[in-house]
Amino acid sequence: MRGSQFAPVAIALTGCLLILPEARAGGALGGGFIEFLATGKSGDGQSPLRSAPLPGQAMPPIPLVQRAFAAPQPREPDVGAAVSPHRAIDPKFMRQEVDFHGPQPAGSVIVDTPNRFLYYVLEGGRAMRYGIGVGRPGFEWAGVKTVTRKAEWPEWTPPSEMLLRRPELPKHMAGGPENPLGARAMYLGSTLYRLHGTNEPWTIGQNVSSGCIRLMNEDVMDLYDRVKVGTKVTVI
Report, as residue numbers or ranges, the catalytic residues. 196, 212
- Report the alpha-carbon distance of residue 126 to residue 139 in Å, rounded: 30
Residue 222 three-state SS = helix
The answer to whether the CB of 195 falls within 8 A of the CB of 109 is yes
Q: What is the DSSP string of 11-26?
A: EEETTEEEEEEEPPTT
The answer to whether the CB of 213 falls within 8 A of the CB of 227 is no
Exposed/middle/buried for residue 213 (C-beta within 10 Å: 0-12, 13-18, 19+): buried
The answer to whether the CB of 35 falls within 8 A of the CB of 43 is yes
